[in-house]
Structure 1
């Protein structure tokens, strides 16, 4: 790989990234906390080296947000927005490493900023949002290693892998791509370098605290992942993995660009010098397909392919300079319309702009349910508080709120304080480890269940209300389990039954 690179367009890339961040700061407050964010808030308050559903880095970032901004929706989502903005800059720098000039770098940054998955991820504080940036960073680092020939870059690669594993365990699929790229390209010469093995050691050292936590907790996350994967397969969430790669991650309008980039990396004499990126895409693609993963798991691999496509297109245009005067204005108009179309499409799908139940809302709802799962949590808590307030003061002292999913538990713990509600208890994920409290509840308000599920409860249970929200938005709470139960005269030993209650969600 050549060591000479075109001038960096870092100022333009930083401007695009900053514009995207500002857009996020002004749009991330439209609805409310997502159910995943509500659980993450509770985990951020209970810092540990591991959690049932994910590694510890994202809750740690959430804790920093809480310390800096309190329970601000915009503040809590800041790191997710930053991760996407950083990815924009890194994508443009990948184009530079591939030999791309000003146009290739800037267009790469724009396309990366407007990718539908990235647009949604920048508005939700989830581990997938942070994981995205580690994959893009790793692609850039591998290119820097190859272009510079400086084996010390393995330390940075090792650090990125270690931090990525502390963010989301699917980083192991990206690592498999890096291993394949190392073995199948001239990078294998580094197998004799101490820096490569020092990078491996660094990645393992960073991941060690979470590995020890998993060992102490009987590798509970493996059991969780198996359970969630079985559920996803059962309800069809893993269907259409390969088809989903064509439209759901980089976006349908970017399809020709990243396909061009992949072809350039594999077939072009110039592109084959960077074929490590092709391995970093093909191996995770194959592994996710075999494992029947969800389509968005591979979303972080597309910025590098988009960069390759922009570089290939730029080189093709440069080779046809006689046409340049004739096509310059037409090309500029075409490019502007294409970028505008991407912005409109991705904005409708990913930005929290449209009023609830408007046409724009329905368009985004057709693509995903993330916005619907941000609606109604305060209404739910207010209704639970109404039921709780109807109990006698004596009964309230021995009453618990039992949540069958983590969104309900997180909502009670976030919004319930203003009503004087006790903290929710839940058998789901890491909530189960926190137990049912110092004393055994004798009365329980039950959320997230149905009559069939409550039929064998050893107590006197009645339906006391149904969950609704002020916008009449159908979501998991209002559609799947809207009934709220009040159970008195519990006839069970909590210490005996709690260990068997654990479940995953």
Structure 2
């Protein structure tokens, strides 16, 4: 793919590229990013906490340098949200939305560095908005992992653009923060390493600044690494189990087709950007490898389609700048309008299927839940806890005093810990992920309300069990809790005693 001479990606291609951030072109980009945050805040509280968010909420109350399922960044921001907004759902999701908005701005900044004018910057930013809406809709590690991938790409581009090796320190800091967000960062790092080795950037291997960046990344990641060592690298076991589950359930299938689902009508833009990096821009070829290598690794390793999402903003930036320079003057207006229509359609689709906008049980909602199953897992948690409270109310006073609540998944346990205090319920216990590490309490419960387990399980592990209720919700929305494991039992203690039972009770989800 050849690039017209008027689109030379250099400092000469754009006069005034060093204007103040809040003036000129980026004012509109900043407004766009702020608008996405406003949309998240206004829509974020409509349904309820999603199951994964209930786990994050509980982990946020137990700050540590590591957790079974993820590094500490997401629970840290969860705790910050709790301190600022209490248990407000929209407040809990606020920082996820901010992280995605920052990624939108960084996308435009990459287009700016590559010589793009206002149109290219806005197109690049707009192309990033659909995933911004999806990734910021829930408080989850995906939001912060995505930002760290985009930030790493931006800082790498900044280094290559300026040829100032000191930027490697900033790249290392972004990588270190990414490792504290989600353990997928090594895939991007693999692309960066290959890109350095196979391009002119390998000259930096002799630079103290590059190795200083490596040291910075390791230093930032070190607290979590120490935590892992203290806990027998439990997250490695967790990731191995989750990956095996995903492969067994076929969640990796359609990975390549999934890239089209993620990018939708922005597909031509990112393809143009990838071709530019790999075939036309020798100076920036490293960024092409930062996409190609993770893509290959995820295909071979059977990853899920959204794992690569953080690689697309750097491609949108290059593609938008290339298109801006390529558009023939005669039809530029028509083609630019067509591109904007396509991107607005992308954004509309993302909003319809990933923001909690549809009235529950409407035709729109039913279609949306087929695309995005998270919506179903945002419904019914207060109803579940109310049902558990009714079961407790049917027990004797002595049984209620010595009661424990055992949740099968972290959603059930987290919901009890969130909504249970209004009913005077005890804290829930569970064997899943980090809940297991917090134990079964002292003194151990003598009576259990067991939520979400099968009759076979409770009768094999506990004494005196009887079925007490079923999980449901007032809105009649079917989800994992109401369909797959709806039974609620009342049991006595474990047959083998608590220490022996708990030792073998750990599992991952």
What TM-score do the two structures reach when normalised by structure 2?
Answer: 0.94
Distance 1:454 1:32 in 2: 30
Aligned residue number for residue 76 of structure 2:
60
Q: Larger deviation: 296-305 or 378-387?
A: 296-305
1:292 aligns with 2:302: yes
1:278 aligns with 2:278: no
Deviation (angstroms), 1:237: 1.1
Preserved CA contact (<8 Å) 1:49 1:213: yes
Preserved CA contact (<8 Å) 2:277 2:288: yes
Aligned residue number for residue 260 of structure 1:
272
1:245 aligns with 2:259: yes
Distance 1:240 1:460 in 2: 47
Preserved CA contact (<8 Å) 1:98 1:274: no
Aligned residue number for residue 4 of structure 2:
none
Q: Please, which of 84, 92, 107 is the counterpart of residue 100 of structure 2?
A: 84
Distance 1:356 1:426 in 2: 30
Aligned residue number for residue 100 of structure 1:
116
Distance 1:383 1:364 in 2: 28
Pairing of 1:166-245 with structure 2 (within 5 A): 166-245=180-259
Aligned residue number for residue 20 of structure 2:
none
SS in 1 for 2:461: coil
Distance 2:206 2:86 in 1: 49
Deviations 1:265-284 (A, max 9, x none): 2233xx34321111000111
Aligned residue number for residue 2 of structure 1:
10
Preserved CA contact (<8 Å) 1:245 1:295: yes
Deviations 1:106-162 (A, max 9, x none): 1111111123xx322111000011110010111110111011011110111010000
1:341 aligns with 2:345: yes
SS in 1 for 2:488: strand
Preserved CA contact (<8 Å) 2:404 2:447: yes
Deviations 1:183-203 (A, max 9, x none): 112211111111111111011
Deviation (angstroms), 1:400: 0.6
Distance 2:374 2:494 in 1: 36
Aligned residue number for residue 122 of structure 1:
136
Deviations 1:348-398 (A, max 9, x none): 111111111112212321212111111000000000000011111211111
Aligned residue number for residue 486 of structure 2:
482
1:439 aligns with 2:451: no
RMSD: 1.4
SS in 1 for 2:47: coil
SS in 1 for 2:138: coil
Count, aligned residues: 493
Distance 1:272 1:199 in 2: 23
**Which runs of no fewer than 5 residues in structure 1 stay unpaired?**
none
Preserved CA contact (<8 Å) 1:460 1:490: no
Distance 2:47 2:169 in 1: 41
Deviation (angstroms), 1:451: 2.2
Distance 1:363 1:291 in 2: 31
Change (3 A) 1:2 1:256: closer
What TM-score do the two structures reach when normalised by structure 1?
Answer: 0.95
SS in 1 for 2:428: coil
**Which runs of no fewer than 5 residues in structure 2 stay unpaired?**
1-8, 18-24
Distance 2:193 2:302 in 1: 21
1:408 aligns with 2:412: yes
Aligned residue number for residue 472 of structure 1:
476
SS in 2 for 1:484: strand
Deviation (angstroms), 1:2: 3.2
Aligned residue number for residue 306 of structure 1:
316
Change (3 A) 1:328 1:254: closer
Distance 1:201 1:428 in 2: 34
Q: Please, which of 153, 162, 169 is the counterpart of residue 176 of structure 2?
A: 162
Deviation (angstroms), 1:330: 2.6
1:393 aligns with 2:397: yes
Change (3 A) 1:328 1:245: closer
Preserved CA contact (<8 Å) 1:166 1:210: yes
